[in-house]
Structure 1
């Protein structure tokens, strides 16, 4: 993993079992279940996951970058004009935060540190 590189992509789905079946059948993706709210996929070219959501999907992908120092990169994002949409939170495997870029796109940065 390298700082500042796209590392992961995340989608939402209302039915995780149905979406998992679709991508397994269509593209042979492999999945790891992380409880009833999240599944990760691999063997797709870029690792990613699906989180359970009943929200309307406008832009279905969340691009996630990697950085080993979340505090440092968060400060740089704010100084460059970005806004924090979700402050740093923990999840199985690491921590991350979401930000809004000056054009209005939401992205995230994660770290395993």
Structure 2
């Protein structure tokens, strides 16, 4: 049986894709090898980091206050610093930081209204 080996990309619509990608490059240091996309390689993932694939129920409130039917998660090396940069770049912080044994999480709303989750994994995760 063939198997899925990981997430190969996150693709979503935007009213101005180049401007939104440029915002992510400024706000979070997303790689900028292209004005059309960013590439994250597995070697950049910190110890304890991984990609999670998780469908949610249609009535979930987890993506609120965004009206989007998706939310993506970005692994960061410094959650507090990343949230500060996002706010300074004009993003809207959403909720309080949550801590678990596998890491710390924070959320924001990007310029297109998408809720984004940031995850700083613990090395032991």
Q: TM-score range by the shorter chain?
A: 0.5 to 0.7
Q: Write out per-residue CA displacement over residues 73-96 of structure 1, whole angstroms, 9 at most, x where no aligned residue.
A: 111000000011122102341111
Provide the aligned length of Structure 1 versus Structure 2: 74
The CA RMSD measured in Å over matched residues stands at 2.9
Residue aligning to 1:102: 111
Give unpaired runs (5+ residues) of structure 2. 8-50
Q: Write out aligned runs for 1:1-113 (5 A).
A: 43-46=4-7, 47-48=51-52, 49-51=54-56, 54-55=59-60, 59-113=68-122
Contact 2:71 / 2:114 at 8 angstroms: preserved in 1? Answer: no
Secondary structure, aligned partner of 1:65: strand
Q: For residues 50 and 93 of structure 1, do their structure 2 counterparts lie closer, same or farther at Cα, with a shift above 3 Å needed? A: farther
What is the TM-score with the length of structure 2 in the denominator?
A: 0.48
Which one has the bigger strand percentage? Answer: 1
Q: Write out per-residue CA displacement over residues 46-74 of structure 1, whole angstroms, 9 at most, x where no aligned residue.
A: 23224567348953321101111111111
Secondary structure, aligned partner of 2:85: helix
